[in-house]
Structure 1
């Protein structure tokens, strides 16, 4: 059976005003324990991993599109999508124009699991954050711990940059990174411009915790002290340093390379 639709046309509607706050403010998303997905591609990625939206706001102009109809057919029958005129939805979104839909979903709280992991300390740039998450997902490192000082990992900008990576990773927000490292049984590596050992001299085939710090300040002294090894990424050219997202990607895929070689 098709979903019943209800149309919201007033910008003063309380439901739409609340949606606007959820899109704009991390504190409101955290208070409601939700995330906001803008566009069909993010919702598709979420549905693939079993995430069920609590609310879905449909762009009235997109109702007849086949990809939107197919996506709506995958929603539970208990969910009644709300239709919003395109001009009004365009005022609510963080995008430059109105998306096909906006979905509000429960914020994930995955259990902590063993294995290789990524520790992110006070990463602030949404683009960096999203790129790091994409690289982690692609490399098979599924446990990601984020300090309290990180940008909101479920902000609209990070979600867009992550391209669906959020829904295959286990993201642990506001984590005590020192505690995570203290309880980690594998190798603990941090990249450092003055690292004494090359990344490419490290054996990364077992469980590894990779630690990356703030774009300007780097990894804090407290976490540096907990690392087994401070490694450098060789740079024979003229750059002084690498962007943190690039450094994380190089480290993650050096691990992939070593695993591939060990398998023959």
Structure 2
């Protein structure tokens, strides 16, 4: 373990940029995981980080000390920061004092849609994107494709909302969703408040590519027209529609119900 005490240190400067700049995260292909849960999930599912960053006071925390020991056992770099420097980087108020610096995966698009997948068309709220990733992972969905207008999946807010789902599903960003749909070997289902078929009446026992759209505008017309089916989630009451993350969860677990029944 080494200790950094200067704000002029190159690693500290990199951490500061990654903590505050989406452009820096995209350009460098790196991001920060803040907290015990995300760090444990990364260790369990992906292995050692590029760097384990810990505040000096957090070393007295048994959970943090255990993660630091696991990193050292895997020969990962561990760096301690005085609390003042650590708090200048961390975006989590009253956090535990632990973060990982990791490389974000770079993947080539599959040749065709062939397994359960999610297509996010201009879903802009990071909390919604993270919640959809979390529900997708829990439902056994393995691929998520995001348009260029969708919130950056490796931002801190999306990472916190997804609770480790990033390390279970394959995430593809800046995808031409219309071109991807043309390759599909499976049914493509889009949700629409104007659809006549209920999601509960669709046959979801085979792989499906789900399309979810912008929080206010929904799925773009070109994608909607390319869908194999459009489905609606019936609801009672005076609300116009469900939140997109809630809508996605209903669809995913209706598919799980059908597969298991």
TM class by shorter chain equals: over 0.9
- Match of residue 256 from structure 1: 256
Number of aligned pairs? Answer: 257
Matching residue of 1:52: 48
Per the TM alignment, residue 13 of structure 1 is displaced from its structure 2 partner at its CA by: 2.7
Match of 1:92 among 89, 92, 116: 89
Q: 2:66 aligns with which of 56, 64, 70?
A: 70
**In 2, distance between residues paired with 1:25 and 1:140?**
32
- Alignment of 1:81 onto 2:78: yes
Q: Does 1:216 align with 2:213?
A: no
CA contact (8 A) 1:190 1:231 kept: yes
Of 105, 108, 123, the residue aligned with 2:105 is 108
Select 1:8's aligned residue among 4, 23, 33.
4
Tell whether the 8 Å contact from 1:90 to 1:99 is kept in structure 2 after alignment: no
Structure 1 residue 98 displacement after superposition: 4.3
* Post-superposition offset of 1:49: 1.3
Q: Secondary structure at the match of 2:175?
A: coil
SS in 1 for 2:60: coil
Partner Cα separation in structure 1 for residue 128 and residue 193 of structure 2: 19
Q: Deviations over 1:17-55 (max 9, x none)?
A: 221101111111121111211112111111111243111
Matched residue, 1:157: 157
Are the structure 2 counterparts of residues 33 and 51 from structure 1 closer, same or farther at C-alpha, using a change threshold of 3 Å? farther
2:44 aligned with 1:33? no
Of the structure 1 ranges 231-240 and 69-78, higher mean CA displacement relative to structure 2 is found in: 69-78
Superposed displacement of residue 227, structure 1: 0.4
TM superposition score normalised by structure 1: 0.93
Deviation at 1:238, TM superposition (A): 1.9
Deviation at 1:77, TM superposition (A): 4.9
Match of 2:119 in 1: 119
Matches of 2:240 and 2:184 in 1, distance apart?
31
Alpha-carbon separation, structure 1, partners of 2:25 and 2:96: 19
CA distance in 1, matches of 2:64, 2:192: 47
Shift of 1:160: 0.5
- Checking the alignment, whether the CA contact within 8 Å between 2:114 and 2:185 is kept in structure 1 is no
Question: Runs of 4+ in structure 1 displaced over 4 angstroms?
Answer: none
Q: Distance in 1 between matches of 2:74 and 2:224?
A: 51
Post-superposition shift, 1:129? 0.8
Indicate the residue corresponding to 1:139 in structure 2.
Answer: 139
Q: Which moved more, 1:244-253 or 1:21-30?
A: 21-30
